[in-house]
Amino acid sequence: MDQAIVCSTEHCHTDLSRTGGFVWPYLAKGGNVLTVPIPKPHGRPILRILLYHGDAETCRHVKDVLRPHGLIHVVSVRNARAILDKVRLGRFDVLITSEQLPDLDAWRLARMLHTGRFAVHPLRIVVLCQVQDVTMLCSSAANHQVRLLSLAELQQLPDIVMKCAQDDPKPWVLIIEDDPRSADLAKDAIAQTFNVEIASDGRSGLAAYEQHRHDLVMLDLALPDIPGETVLRELRKIDPTQPIVIVTANTSLDSHAALVLDGAYDFIVKPFDVNALREACRLAIEQRAHTVMNSAREEMGGTFRELRGRIRAAERMNTMGKNQAATQHLKSAIRTCRLAPLTDGEWAALKHQF
């Protein structure tokens, strides 16, 4: 382990030892300068993380969860303005924040950051929320290209942060189109909002989708090797929730109705209007977000039903004097909820309630 001298203020994040290791901002009582150990990065790039949360105990817990994984270059900030100041001046990889900041909500902040005008480096965003708010916020998170994580699942944060740092924040679109001019026109129309991969026939399109599972597929029906309708059905077999926008020169309403019944989200008639294409892609991504949200709602409903049953069973076992069985039901309920550890303040308040 190398040693680094680190200033004990939140604004100092400079490695004074020049060892090439990580920097660990550390706040010491009395404002002393401390010497702290720096783990070796094991070949991984250094990830620079911005952190905001209104609860100081949650901020400490986040840092404690990240530290064992070598994610120790964490700079705490007080508001959205401070975040914008930081990302304008230097490179940061991930922002971890609560939904509401003192001067802005996370969704408007995400829109600003995703424009690319406010940051020198693309910033991935993770929003922390309460477990009961996950379903409600799922659609907003998907629409704003934000990762959502409940505080009850905070142990997953290191994996999410490392995956975020490897991901491009823009959704991916697969264009399956054999005409290069049409493919390039579609790509140029949506390139500001989406990353784009192009496949020139059905087989290569299916192979590309199998490998990358794109957020959206734009599919031409007149392909040289496989009919577009067959590609549509194969894509739906792989993932029934996959949004697919059909591009076709066929103006028949019966044909369009059949495509929608086969699972297409929408269709664009050639020659297409670029604004209509952009809007279709945007709405298709939103539809995927709503599908994810509904799925999360169903899962949450099952969790709450199990939790309610466990608590009622524990209550009944307790009234019958079967304390051991009641305890087991309560332990199962806790596992079902995947509860985050209590903060010191929460624990102190609970100890004096009874």
Instruction: Give residue 61's pLDDT.
Output: 93
Q: What is the dotted CATH code of the domain comprising 41-166?
A: 3.40.50.2300
Largest CA distance in the chain: 77
Please tell me the predicted confidence (pLDDT) of residue 331. 81
Residue 211 token pair: 């490998």
Give the pLDDT of residue 332. 82
Per-residue pLDDT of the chain (354 residues; tens, 9 = 90+): 433 333 333 333 333 333 333 333 333 333 343 333 434 444 456 889 999 999 999 999 999 999 999 998 999 999 999 999 999 888 899 999 999 999 999 998 998 887 777 887 888 899 999 888 887 887 788 778 888 998 988 988 998 898 876 766 678 899 999 999 999 999 998 888 888 999 999 999 999 998 888 889 999 988 999 998 999 999 999 888 889 999 888 777 777 788 777 788 888 888 888 888 888 888 888 777 666 656 666 666 677 788 788 888 888 888 888 888 888 888 887 776 655 555 566 666 666 665
User: Do the domains at 41-166 and 172-287 have one common CATH topology?
Assistant: yes
Second-level CATH architecture of 172-287: 3-Layer(aba) Sandwich (3.40)
Q: Are 23 and 72 in contact (CB under 8 A)?
A: yes
Strands of the sheet containing 172-176, edge to edge, are: 195-199, 172-176, 216-220, 244-248, 266-269
CA atoms within 13 A on the CB side of 39: 14
Distance, in Å, from the CA atom of 162 to the CA atom of 47, rounded to the nearest integer, reads: 8
Q: How many Å apart are CA 140 and CA 223, to the nearest integer?
A: 36
pLDDT at 291: 66
Residues with Cβ within 8 Å of 95's Cβ and at least 6 positions away in sequence, in order, are: 49, 50, 51, 52, 83, 113, 123, 124, 125, 126
Question: Cis before residue 271, ω within 30 degrees of 0?
Answer: yes
Alpha-carbon span 310 to 329, nearest angstrom: 5
Instruction: Show Cβ contacts of residue 309 under 8 Å, excluding neighbours closer than 6 positions.
Output: none
pLDDT at residue 231 in the model = 93
Domain chopping of the chain, boundaries: 41-166, 172-287, 289-338
pLDDT in the model for residue 340: 53
Query: Which pLDDT score is estimated for 121?
Result: 80
Rounded to an integer, what distance in angstroms lies between the CA atom of residue 280 and that of residue 264? 12
DSSP SS3 for 244: strand
Using the structure block, give the residue that is written with the tokens 């404690």.
64
Residues 99-134: tens digit of each pLDDT: 999 999 999 899 888 777 788 788 889 999 988 888
- Whose CA is closest to 126, among 213, 214, 50, 61? 50
Q: Which helix (H) or strand (E) holds 127?
A: strand 124-129
For 125, residues 6+ apart whose C-beta sits below 8 A from its C-beta are: 94, 95, 97, 106, 109, 110, 113, 144, 145, 146, 147, 169
pLDDT of residue 38: 38
Instruction: Look at residue 117 in the predicted model and tell me its pLDDT.
Output: 78
